[in-house]
Structure formats: structure tokens, C-alpha cells
């Protein structure tokens, strides 16, 4: 069974108001849960961090699969695929290499959802 990427509405009216201001509708919850689930793995979280902090806004897979991760190349590829299917990164093939960059609109949606200034600090 192939997984299909659900492209989220990234217009100004799109998700999300902070969770402290409104409840999510079921469709929003499903889409956002895919992204959060992808980030629930430490390797994927580190990969996303590496991609989003790349100086040129993108990074070659050849620069990701180095010694920074204590897993094999195929495992890195699997984790990159999960991030891509969740809509957090996108890749562009150039010759034999793939260059990855973050999907900024979807990362902004996650950030907007978790922006909770109305919560009192404990």
C-alpha cells in the first residue's frame, strides 16, 4: 500500500490558530498528527534540524549520511522518506544526489499551533 502525501492548505486562512484559542477540526488533526508523528523519532528530528539549519537553505543527502548519525545509509533514506511523506521536507534530484529543503509553510503551521501565549507558566 503506497502512502499519499496530503498537501496542507498553506494560505493565510489555513491552519492553525494556537491550540489555546480553538479546537482543531478532525481533518486538521489528521494532517498535523502525521507531521508530529514523523517528528516523534530522534533521528528524524535531528535530520530535520540538520536540513533546516543548512546555510544555503538546502542540503545534499551526501552531507547528511556522514558520521553524524550512527545508522546506515538505507536507514537515513527511510527516515528522509518519512519526513518527506509527512510534508516536512522536499527533495530535488540533481544528477546522482538529492538535495533536501524544509517545507517552510508546514513548519510554520506546527509553530502556529503550538504558540500558546495564553497559558500561564507554572
Summarize pLDDT for 16-45 with one digit per residue, the tens.
777 777 788 888 888 889 999 999 999 999
CA-to-CA separations, 24 to 31, 54, 63, 117, in angstroms, rounded: 11, 32, 38, 17
Confidence of residue 70 (pLDDT cuts 50, 70, 90): confident
User: From the centroid of its chain, how far is CA 38?
Assistant: 7
Residue 90 has pLDDT above 60, yes or no: yes
The CATH T-level fold of domain 26-114 is Arc Repressor Mutant, subunit A (1.10.10)
Q: What is the pTM of this model?
A: 0.79
- What span, in angstroms and rounded, lies between the C-alpha atoms of 36 and 87? 11
Q: Please state the domain extents for the chain.
A: 26-114
The span from the CA of 3 to the CA of 37, in Å, is 14
Q: From CA 19, how far away is CA 88, in angstroms rounded?
A: 20
Amino acid at each position: 500500500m503506497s502512502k499519499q502525501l496530503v498537501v496542507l492548505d498553506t494560505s493565510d486562512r489555513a491552519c492553525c490558530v494556537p491550540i489555546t484559542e480553538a479546537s482543531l477540526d478532525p481533518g486538521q488533526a489528521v494532517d498535523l498528527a502525521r507531521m508530529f508523528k514523523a517528528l516523534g523519532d530522534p533521528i528524524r528530528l535531528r535530520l530535520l534540524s540538520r536540513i533546516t539549519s543548512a546555510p544555503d537553505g538546502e542540503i545534499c543527502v551526501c552531507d547528511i549520511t556522514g558520521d553524524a548519525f550512527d545508522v546506515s545509509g538505507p536507514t537515513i533514506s527511510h527516515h528522509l522518506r518519512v519526513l518527506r511523506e509527512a510534508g516536512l521536507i522536499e527533495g530535488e534530484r540533481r544528477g546522482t544526489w538529492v538535495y533536501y529543503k524544509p517545507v517552510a509553510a508546514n513548519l510554520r503551521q506546527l509553530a502556529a499551533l503550538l504558540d500558546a501565549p495564553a497559558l500561564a507558566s507554572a
